[in-house]
Amino acid sequence: MEVRVEPLFDKKANFVGWLYNREHIFDTELKWVAYINNGYVWSTNKLNWIGMIRDTNCLDRDGKVVAWNPNSPVIGGLAKTEEPLKAYKPLPPPKPLIDEEPLKPPKAPKAIGGWSHLTFNQWLNQ
């Protein structure tokens, strides 16, 4: 199975983490911080639903973009989403083998649907 690891950036184009196979999220120190189930994102720390994933865009509960990847359009949701049924925490994925930080994009593009007021860490710790 091919492993796909994509860098994530915040609204100021700061590197904030990694999207792993579009199933898990790791922070910049390669700590597993979130998992994805049916398009919904859950915190590994508090096991809370924190938002959604749309392509490579991490969205808050209101559908606003929290983190993005330069290889995809930056598009949020059009409406607030109802809380999904609880997703069970999967086994941790293997830690990705990454030896250097990704290149920083020059700036974040305008997010269709808007940027979240939450920082990446605030989003993870809801």
Q: Are residues 60 and 11 in contact, defined by beta-carbon separation less than 8 angstroms?
A: no
Whether 9 is in a domain gets the answer yes
Residue showing tokens 């959604």: 52
Whether 40 is in a domain gets the answer yes
pLDDT at site 83: 85
pLDDT tens, position by position, 30-82: 999 999 999 999 999 999 999 999 999 999 999 999 999 999 999 998 777 78
Q: What angle do CA 98, 99, 101 make, to 5 degrees?
A: 85
Instruction: Supply the range of the domain harboring residue 49.
Output: 5-86+105-124
* Statement: the pTM of the whole predicted model exceeds 0.75: yes
DSSP lists the bridge partners of residue 19 as 6, 25
In total, how many domains does the chain have?
1
Whether 97 is in a domain gets the answer no
pLDDT at site 1: 64
Going by C-alpha positions, the residue among 70, 99, 92 that lies closest to residue 23 is 92
pLDDT tens, position by position, 98-118: 888 899 998 999 999 999 999
Whether 98 is in a domain gets the answer no
Whether 95 is in a domain gets the answer no
- Going by the DSSP 8-state scheme, the letter that residue 121 receives in this structure is H
Mean pLDDT confidence for 78-97? 86
